[in-house]
Amino acid sequence: MLQGLALLPAAGLAGCYNLYSRPLESRIRSIRITGQAGRAGGGTLVLMLPGIGSLPEEFIEAGFPAALHAQAPGAEVRLLDSHFGYYEDRSILARLAVEQVEPARREGFERIWLVGISLGGLGALGLLTEAFTAGSSTATGGSTAIAGTVALAPYVGPAGLWREIEVAGGPVAWAATPASTQVEPGQPRPPLERRIWRHLATRQGGAPVHLGFGDSDRFARGHRLLQALLPADHVATRPGGHDWPVWRALWIDWLARHGKALQAPA
């Protein structure tokens, strides 16, 4: 299991526990909302990954696709039922690449944006990290580069990892320590959370990462550590905690400030 993810049910994330362990499907269920041909945003695919207990339909209920299409009516949106089971069996990143990103290249999409909430934020940041470190054209350029990531209240590891980063003097200093490459017991690589932190702390350029969170979110301590790695205009906060009204407000804010990035390479 990914480091710390076993603690998430106790943390009280949105949704019911019985949703966490739903059966895996041969292909992650998705809801496709096509854009309007010939309109702004054509050639853009936006993949939306929900939180640990949320269904993809909740993006629709919260108005995420509608707000996006007000800015970029030509963009295609895919809402993914990327639930906890795919993280638990460690298949999430490979599935996202094989089932969504690689086919999007063949379909002719010019750019892909990743939008992840809570656990979905971990998935979005993980996909960006994995593609970059693998040297894939999916992340580093080519006809379908990942254009950017919007992580809203992302899960970025347990509090113990945050403390470790703080004690080291912050993410950049931590990334220079052996702890940043500490292999997970029984696994060939460090846990996903550590790989993400190290990548963001050491990368030079690359697709932009945008962060949004509520100022009283239960993960805000980790978010503030992550904030130090990002340009000021790529970080937004809102009053409130870990819930949909805050995430919707942050999404509307992001579209108002950065929505034009959906219409052209970032």
How does pLDDT run across 104-119, given as a tens digit for each residue?
A: 999 999 999 999 999 9
Phi-psi region of 63 (alpha: psi -120 to 50; beta: other; left: phi over 0): left
Average pLDDT over residues 67-71: 96
Q: Is the pTM of this model over 0.75?
A: yes
Domains in the chain (CATH in brackets) are 5-159+205-263 (3.40.50.1820)
pLDDT of residue 264: 67
The conformation of residue 97, written as its DSSP 8-state character, comes to I
Question: What was the pLDDT predicted at 207?
Answer: 93
Contact between residue 124 and residue 114 where contact means Cβ atoms under 8 Å apart: yes
- Please report, rounded to a whole number, the percentage of residues in the chain having pLDDT higher than 70: 86
Give me the mean pLDDT over the 202-228 stretch: 96
The confidence score (pLDDT) of residue 134 equals: 54
Sheet holding 235-238, edge to edge: 30-33, 76-80, 44-49, 111-117, 145-152, 209-214, 235-238
For residues 73 and 196, what is the distance between their CA atoms, to the nearest angstrom? 32
Nearest Cα neighbor of 199 from 106, 114, 135 is 135
CB within 8 Å of 250: residues ≥ 6 apart: 152, 212, 213, 214, 236, 238
Mean pLDDT across the stretch 241-254? 98
